[in-house]
Amino acid sequence: MSASTSAPATGTGVKTPVPGRRVRRLSGRDKLVLGIMVAVPTLIQLVLIWIPTLLSIGLSFTRWNGLDLSDIKPAGTANYEYVAQDYPPFWPAIQHNVLWLVFLAVIATPLGLLLAVLLDQQIRGSKIYQSVFFTPVMLSLALIGIIWQLFYNRDSGLLNFLLGTAGKPTAVDWFGDASVNIWAALFAATWRHAGYVMILYLAGLKGVDPALKEAAALDGANATQTFFRVVFPAMRPINIVIIVITLIESLRAFDIVYVINRGTNGLELISALVIQNLVGEGQVIGVGSALAVILLVISLVPITWYLSRAFKKGAEE
Amino acid sequence: MSTSLSTRPAGSNAAETGSRRGKRHYGTHIFLAVMAVIWLIPLLWTLFTALRPKADTDKYGYFSLQGSFSFDNFVQAWNQGGFSKYFWNSVLITVPSVILTLFLASLMAFAVSRFSWRFNVTLLIMFTAGNLLPPQVLAAPLFEMFKHIQLPYAFSDSGNLLNTYVSVIAVDTAFQIGFCTFVLSNYMKALSPDLTEAALVDGAGVWTQYWSIILPLCRPALAAMATLEVIFIYNDFFWPLLFIQSGDRLPLTTAINNLQGNFLSNYNLIAAGAMITAIPALLIYVALQRHFVAGLTLGSSKG
């Protein structure tokens, strides 16, 4: 929408401003105002986001019970060794995070794309369908956990009733049974993710030049070919955003498993393990911070990839 | 848009390519209708359960249509279940957070998009990256920082920043500034430089340019971001969970974490609580759908 920025100004010569040139024309008071405009948000970002991030890295190399600051003892890499070798939920959590990503990438995201493509045709009731699929996006993942709990319950849930197992010994406690609960949680997460992807792709599809599709049709391409060879590549900016959203969502997944059982018993995720180590009775801040740093390092891969693309493109314009 | 495809029978699948209203859409309609029903079932089941008295579901079972329907569970959750308090807490956290976020982000976006100076891209990258971090990464240091900031008891009954709305508002704001700055700066960049050049010649200061020229032009973007941020912050589960210990200070989204314990397997009450929590978000969606969707697509238009 706002991407078409390069509407050149008529004759003012400030289309590509030389750094510093325009600032020099400012009075001292203007510079002060501008300085405050930048300094206040930047300070907030530094104090509440970036300094804590650095402190997390620092704390991950210490041993601390979280009580007195003077109790912080250096621990070298002991926390990381403990996490990788002796902390039972760590590797299951890694597996679950990978599974979360694969499920969103293979099921939820393509489903959202499919819904967008179907709804982009001018079919009757398109707006109503869109509203239905988009509704879960308005809800928090914590609330989605509660709503699906009511659906999945062993004795009172609708699913066991529909399967004909309600009240029988074969009834499954979908969120309680460690062998199935990760899949049950993933379906609940898909309920939200697919609608999110759908709405972004609907906007993307509207932005594709219809002439491209016409040209492809004239060249004898069928609908499938036109979509995969012409329309889909033309939505590259949206595709990148969707990839990043899918990656980040699978790393940030927390609320839903925390609401179900605090991320234990089959629902371990790295984010949940971080919190278990920080707030539990043990209060092993060092171990929790080591897990947080592992989460940070993994997250920085998609973040860096996205930002390098977003801002390289911005500089070209 | 897609109907304007060429009608030339170019290949064997031309009929699908030239799909028009009505014809050849039965399969699509069946698929969409089935999906829509699946999509609605969890919410409708919650609403259905919430509308039935516990006595009736005990008597007839949860899978039955007998018995009465009423809003009694909603009233009970609202009055005795503490949901009126949780709702008020949500308002007290969401409103200041959204106003602060938009104000600070628009200041920053104005400074980095309308003026060229050395570090503006670096700062913009820093802001955007901050918004993408998993919040759990910062949990321990923020918790300890807030615990070790001593405050007079008149201001906070915990003697520090924990258990206060201020802690949640501050961190929610810090987290959301990045995203809003990114979107608003793209929006402001698209506004012609002539607008402020002319004002500059007339001797208008930086603040006048920001407040009287740029900000009014950003109204559509601000409306979209405000709608989006209200939903984001209302739906925030994590920061209140981390900072607020007293159950009666929790906002709705975090309070539902305690539903199961508080309502002791009274699924009718739990369902009513879930519906009460969903209603504000759904109302905003119905009233401001256009702005919400515009906000989401603004955020992704540049990638």
Say whether B302 and A51 touch across the interface (CB within 8 A): no
Note whether residue A257 is domain-resident: yes
Locate the chain A residue with the closest alpha carbon to B46: A147
Q: How far is Cα of residue B213 from the mean position of the Cα atoms in its chain?
A: 28
Q: A271 touching B, CB under 8 A?
A: yes
DSSP B249: G
From the list B301, B182, B288, the residue with the least C-alpha distance to B226 is B288
In this predicted structure, what is the pLDDT of residue B154? 75
Q: What is the pLDDT of residue B61?
A: 76
Give the model's pLDDT for residue A189. 94
In a domain, A283, yes or no: no
Number of CB atoms found within 10 A of residue A21's CB? 11
- Is A55 part of any domain? no
pLDDT at res. A40: 93
**Contact (CB<8Å) B303/A241:** yes
Total domain count, chain A: 1
Domains of chain B: 82-300 (1.10.3720.10)
For chain B, the straight-line distance linking the first and the last C-alpha, in angstroms and rounded, comes to: 24
Place of tokens 């955020």: B299
- Asked whether A161 and A246 are in contact (CB, 8 A), the reply is no
- Chain A residue numbers with beta carbons less than 8 Å from the beta carbon of B116 are 17-23
Q: What is the dihedral of CA A218, A221, A222, A223, to 10 degrees?
A: -90
Of A33, A214, A288, the CB nearest to B207: A33
Q: Which of A146, A273, A305 to mutate to test the interface with B (most CBs of B within 10 A)?
A: A146
Whether A138 and B281 lie within 8 Å, measured CB to CB: yes
Asked, for residue A315, whether it belongs to a domain, the answer is: no
Q: Is residue A263 part of a domain?
A: yes
User: What is the rounded CA–CA span in Å between residue A312 and residue A305?
Assistant: 11
pLDDT in tens, A72-85: 888 888 889 888 88
Residue A257 to residue A268: CA distance in whole angstroms: 8
Looking up residue A202, the CATH number of its domain turns out to be 1.10.3720.10
- Whether residues B140 and A285 touch (CB distance < 8 A) is answered with yes
ipTM for the complex?
0.84
* Closest alpha carbon to A97 in A291, A307, A303, A227: A291
Does any CB of chain A come closer than 8 Å to the CB of residue B259? yes
Residue B234, both tokens? 């209302």
Q: Which helix (H) or strand (E) holds A74?
A: strand A73-74
In a domain, A132, yes or no: yes
Question: In this predicted structure, what is the pLDDT of residue A19?
Answer: 44
B8: left (phi over 0), alpha (psi -120 to 50) or beta: beta
* Closest CA–CA distance from residue B26 to any residue of chain A (Å): 10
The burial of B91, by beta-carbon neighbours within 10 Å (0-12 exposed, 13-18 middle, 19 or more buried), is given as: middle
| Per-residue confidence in pLDDT tens, chain A, 317 aa | 333 333 333 333 333 444 444 445 677 888 888 889 999 999 999 999 999 999 999 999 988 887 777 888 888 888 898 888 888 899 999 999 999 999 999 999 999 999 999 998 878 888 899 999 999 999 999 999 999 988 888 777 888 888 777 777 777 788 878 888 899 999 999 999 999 999 999 988 888 888 888 888 888 888 888 888 888 888 888 898 899 889 999 999 999 999 988 888 888 999 999 998 887 666 688 899 999 999 999 999 999 988 888 887 555 44
Domain that holds residue A240: 91-269
Name the closest residue on chain B to residue A140, using Cα atoms: B235
Interface of A with B in 75-104 (CB under 8 A): none
Residue-wise pLDDT for B42-70, tens only, equals: 999 999 989 988 888 877 777 777 778 88
Name the β-bridge partners of A74.
Answer: A62
State the pLDDT at residue B233. 94
Name residues of chain B where pLDDT drops below 70: 1-24, 300-303
Measured between CB atoms, does B165 come within 8 Å of chain A? no
Nearest to A146 among B19, B171, B274 (CB): B274
What pLDDT does A56 receive? 93
**Has residue A104 been placed in a domain?**
yes
Q: What is the pLDDT of residue A16?
A: 42
Cβ-based contacts of B13 with chain A (< 8 Å): 222-224
Instruction: Report residue A46 as tokens.
Output: 């530094």
pLDDT digits (tens, 9 = 90+) for B184-231: 998 888 888 787 777 777 777 888 888 888 899 999 899 989 999 999
Q: Confirm or reject contact between B261 and chain A (CB < 8 A).
A: no
- Distance, CA of B250 to CA of B241 (rounded, Å): 8
Instruction: Determine phi and psi for A62, rounding to 5 degrees.
Output: -130, 170
Residue B251: predicted pLDDT:
92
Backbone torsions φ then ψ of A173, nearest 5 degrees: -90, 95
Largest CA distance in chain B: 80
Please report whether residue A176 resides in a domain: yes
